[in-house]
């Protein structure tokens, strides 16, 4: 209703001004029959009111759609009225919607191609990294130690990119099954053993028991624990304390 009144506010003002001029002309011309003037004003307002009522009810859905937020994109292209302005607006919305769908499809296709390329690139990079790692792992020279350190950083970076790319289909990639918590913790520590050795940090596991199992996705739990351990090593490496440790512990809350 507010939108309708705002659209026709100028028409109402013009109508009032027009009637004022007409009444003034009659009055200045010597016409003093007040009842006839009032009847003319009433007829004019009656016709105006009928016009506004017709306009409002013939475009009721049009004004409601413009004054309320859309629940979906499809709701913007539903045809409900046949007024010229409504049909013109409907054609414009249809054209805009088609252009939006085309652009969205193009961007989605480009994103999928980019993600596919990233996945392939990550898997392809793992092979030369493994070959280089096998080549330099038995070399004791200082320069080879630097190469091993950089290889470790590249491996961690590639794993992070691979897991982040899996997030786009997380609901399909997440498979819940019973996982032995101690085995995951041991695998995470073993996977980051070079990082522990390079930073002279000793891992310590508390609460170790082989009976504790959790219902989760094994690879995502491995990734989460790896990120926690890597961050713990980085923060611990910044201190000057001797005998630095990263303690991995967990508390089991019984289920009632």
Mean pLDDT by 10 residues, the chain (256 residues): 74 85 80 78 86 78 64 55 66 81 88 81 80 75 73 81 75 80 86 82 74 83 87 77 78 62
179 and 93 part of one domain: no
CATH value at residue 188: 3.30.565.10
Which among 73, 102, 131 is the end of a domain?
102
User: 146 lies in a domain?
Assistant: no
User: 206 lies in a domain?
Assistant: yes
pLDDT at residue 210, as a whole number = 61
User: 196 lies in a domain?
Assistant: yes
pLDDT at residue 185, as a whole number = 87
* Rounded CA separation 226/233 (Å): 10
User: 94 lies in a domain?
Assistant: yes
Judged on CB neighbours under 10 Å (0-12, 13-18, 19+), 250 is middle
pLDDT at residue 77, as a whole number = 53
Q: Which domain holds residue 225?
A: 175-256
pLDDT at residue 16, as a whole number = 85
User: 228 lies in a domain?
Assistant: yes
pLDDT at residue 121, as a whole number = 83
| Vertex 198: Cα angle to 195 and 202 (nearest 5) | 75
Task: Name the domain count of the chain.
Answer: 2
pLDDT at residue 98, as a whole number = 84
pLDDT at residue 208, as a whole number = 59
88 and 179 part of one domain: no
8 and 98 part of one domain: yes
Which among 66, 83, 102 is the end of a domain?
102
pLDDT at residue 67, as a whole number = 63
Which among 102, 130, 154 is the end of a domain?
102
User: 226 lies in a domain?
Assistant: yes
pTM of the model: 0.52
User: 76 lies in a domain?
Assistant: yes
Three-state SS sequence of 37-80: HHHHHHHHHHHHHHHHHHHHHHCHHHHHHHHCCCCCCHHHHCCC
10 and 94 part of one domain: yes
């Amino acid at each position: 209703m507010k939108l309708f009144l705002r659209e026709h506010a100028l028409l109402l003002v013009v109508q009032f001004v027009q009637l004022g001029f007409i009444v003034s002309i009659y009055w200045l011309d010597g016409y003093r029959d007040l009842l006839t003037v009032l009847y003319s004003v009433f007829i004019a307002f009656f016709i105006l009111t009928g016009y506004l009522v017709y306009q409002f009810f013939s475009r009721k859905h049009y004004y409601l759609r413009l004054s309320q937020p859309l629940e979906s994109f499809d709701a913007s292209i539903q045809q409900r009225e046949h007024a010229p302005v409504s049909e013109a607006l409907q054609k414009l919305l249809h054209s805009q919607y088609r252009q939006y769908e085309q652009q969205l499809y193009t961007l989605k296709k480009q994103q999928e191609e980019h993600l596919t390329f990233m996945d392939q690139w990550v898997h392809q990079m793992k092979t030369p990294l493994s070959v280089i790692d096998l080549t330099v792992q038995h070399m004791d020279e200082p320069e080879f130690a630097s190469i091993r350190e950089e290889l470790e950083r590249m491996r961690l970076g590639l794993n992070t990119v691979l897991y982040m790319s899996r997030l786009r289909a997380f609901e399909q990639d997440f498979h819940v099954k019973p996982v032995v918590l101690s085995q995951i913790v041991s695998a995470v520590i073993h996977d980051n053993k070079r990082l522990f050795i390079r930073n002279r940090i000793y891992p310590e596991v508390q609460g170790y028991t082989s009976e504790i199992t959790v219902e989760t996705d094994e690879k995502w739990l491995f990734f989460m624990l790896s990120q926690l351990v890597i961050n713990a090593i980085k923060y611990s490496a910044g201190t000057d304390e001797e005998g630095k440790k990263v303690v991995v512990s967990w508390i089991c809350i019984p289920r009632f």
